[in-house]
Chains A and B, each alone.
Chain A
């Protein structure tokens, strides 16, 4: 799982750079949310492996949220963070309207809390 954690950190590091650009007024919300989603999913895999001994493979997002929510303490909050990120995924990747700075900052915070939990558990 170390490789997965390194990927989560790599995505988060890119997100940090994009967040700086966003604060400078550049329109990077969709790219920022997309890397935050990748960071959040990788972090969730690490968390599930560390606490439950397995993780959800494939695209069953509901199952992934349900598994991470079993973790104590803090599983419910982590599940909410992952769910919120997954809901933003489709909008960022496929919708025509750009994602705003407020929403992308929310994604960055959620990804950060998932990666932080994955790192320290």
Chain B
């Protein structure tokens, strides 16, 4: 199935949406903390490019006024100029993943037929998603609601479509019934969701299997 949008988001480099260069990456690091960074520290956090390249990019950003530079002994310390008119936009771009989670929670929270549980999982949840990654959503269907229920189907279809448009990454929903949780194959996915999933709706304890009652013998 082809995606409804051609280009997708790189969750590892959110500023690449508008600045797919080293300058964008440097801005992403500086926007990620209220802190002054040396060129070496920026390079260390970034983990790509050369240290000299990172310094040049930081100096270019200083020229544009979005980054401030302070001399401290031998070191040059860079930080995001949070008084700059563009600073809010840059911080916003740096937190696209958090915005996505908030948006998903907001939408699902208003569903007419809410799920028993929903979580984001896979590479987007781990913060490792690139432009080719899918946006994986785990959904536990509430007891008493059939998969063929038109309201339920419409909700899922709309969410899949909307989430794909929000990010460019193709949204994929996997849904199970509560009684499917005992299935060993389903347990594999559930364990992944338990380990790394970001809860969107409901309590993760819904994924636990009921404890077996042990008969005590005298």
Q: Which residues on the A side are within 8 Å of B198 (C-beta)?
A: 116, 120
Complex Cα distance, B211 from A23, in Å, reads 11
Q: Which residues on the A side are within 8 Å of B32 (C-beta)?
A: 51, 71-72
- Is there contact, CB below 8 Å, between B127 and A119? yes
Interface class of chain A by DSSP: helix
Complex Cα distance, B211 from A24, in Å, reads 9
- Is there contact, CB below 8 Å, between A72 and B33? yes
- Is there contact, CB below 8 Å, between B211 and A54? no
Complex Cα distance, B45 from A13, in Å, reads 28
- Is there contact, CB below 8 Å, between A120 and B95? no
Residue interface bits A40-58, CB-to-B below 8 A is 1, else 0: 0000000000111110000
- Is there contact, CB below 8 Å, between B91 and A20? no
Kindly identify which residue among A53, A71, A116 contacts B44, using a CB–CB cutoff of 8 Å: A53
Number of chain A residues close to chain B: CB under 8 A? 21
Q: Whole-angstrom distance from the CB of A83 to the nearest CB of chain B? A: 17
Given known contacts A71-B32, A73-B98, A74-B98, is B125 in contact with A50 (CB within 8 Å)?
Answer: no
- Is there contact, CB below 8 Å, between B127 and A120? yes
- Is there contact, CB below 8 Å, between A54 and B41? yes
- Is there contact, CB below 8 Å, between A71 and B196? no
A50, A52, A75, A121 interface centre (most CB from chain B within 10 Å):
A52
- Is there contact, CB below 8 Å, between A72 and B195? no
- Is there contact, CB below 8 Å, between B95 and A73? yes
Complex Cα distance, B21 from A109, in Å, reads 38
Given known contacts A24-B211, A119-B127, A120-B126, is B45 in contact with A75 (CB within 8 Å)?
Answer: no
Q: Which residues on the B side are within 8 Å of A16 (C-beta)?
A: 194
Residues in B lying within 8 Å of A, measured CB to CB: 31-35, 37, 41-42, 44-45, 91, 94-95, 97-98, 125-127, 194-196, 198, 205, 208, 211
Subset of 12 A-B contacts with CB under 8 Å:
A9-B195, A52-B33, A52-B41, A53-B45, A54-B41, A70-B33, A70-B34, A73-B98, A75-B33, A119-B126, A119-B196, A120-B126
